[in-house]
Structures are given as C-alpha cells and as structure tokens.
Amino acid sequence: METKHRPIGVTILAFVAGFMALWAILLTLRWLGLVPWFGPGPSIRVFSLWYALMYGLLAWVYIWLTKMLWDVDPAAWLFLAVITVFNLVLNFVTLIVNADTFGSSDTLVVSIVLNALVLIYIMLPGVRESFGTKA
C-alpha cells in the first residue's frame, strides 16, 4: 500500500477536526444532562434528546473526518469544506435567531471564528494540492 505524504497543515487540520469531535461529544453530554452548562448562562441541567442526537451525529462525522484527513483522502477536502460551511450557516442562524436561549453566545462566536479560519485555510492553493484538488 502506498503511503501518501501528509503535510503539516493537513496534520493540523486533522487535530482541529479531532478537537471539534471532542467538543461535539461534550455538547452531547451537556444536552443529555450529564454535564452542567459551563460559563455564564443557566446553571441548571438541561435535557434535549434531539440536540443530543444531533451533536452525537456531528461527533461521529468529525471522528470520521479526522480519520480521512489523517489518511490524506482526496474526498476529505470536499467533505471538510461542506461540513465547515454547514456549521457556519447553522452558527449564524443560531446567533441571529436565538442567541439568548443558551445564556451566552461566547462559545458560538468561538465556533464561528474557528470554522471561518478552517474554511479560509482549506481554500489555499497549497492545501488543495495536498489533497489532489485543483483550483
């Protein structure tokens, strides 16, 4: 089996995707009521099976994406771009529609900034060439 060279930028993207998977797992546990909300906001435990399932699915997607990035799979670039744009759209909608629902929008802003930086980075020509996609 031929081993593909993994540039440092792709390795960093894999670690960022792994971090996002851990973040989604933490959010899943929060929505299951197993971990209290941290930071400013409600100090009560909140339960929502729908949100827990959605964040659990997102965690699974990020774990899968981390594996694809680590293996420098050509489909990982497109998949990461789609997931990042999807997250940005959902974050902006949540920020505009119901930011006060969760007490603080600090974690939402961090998510927007992180996703925007990832999207800008993966659009660079060098990163696209690492995955074999042309501009």
HSE-up (13 A, CA, CB side) for residue 130 = 22
Given this model, what pLDDT does residue 40 score?
45
Residue 103 identity (one-letter amino acid): G
Given this model, what pLDDT does residue 61 score?
93
Q: Which two tokens stand for residue 115?
A: 């996703």
**pLDDT per residue over 68-126, tens digit each?**
999 988 899 899 999 989 888 887 877 777 655 554 566 777 778 888 999 999 998 88
Q: Which two tokens stand for residue 30?
A: 């929060």
Q: Which residues contact 3 (CB under 8 A, 6 or more apart)?
A: none
> 108 vs 2, 6, 14, 28, 123, CA distance in Å?
40, 31, 21, 15, 23
**pLDDT per residue over 9-60, tens digit each?**
889 899 999 998 998 888 788 778 787 665 444 556 667 788 889 889 989 9
Distance CA 33, CA 35 (A): 6
pTM, entire model: 0.77
> 35 vs 24, 30, 84, 104, 107, CA distance in Å?
13, 5, 26, 17, 16
**pLDDT per residue over 111-129, tens digit each?**
788 889 999 999 988 888 8
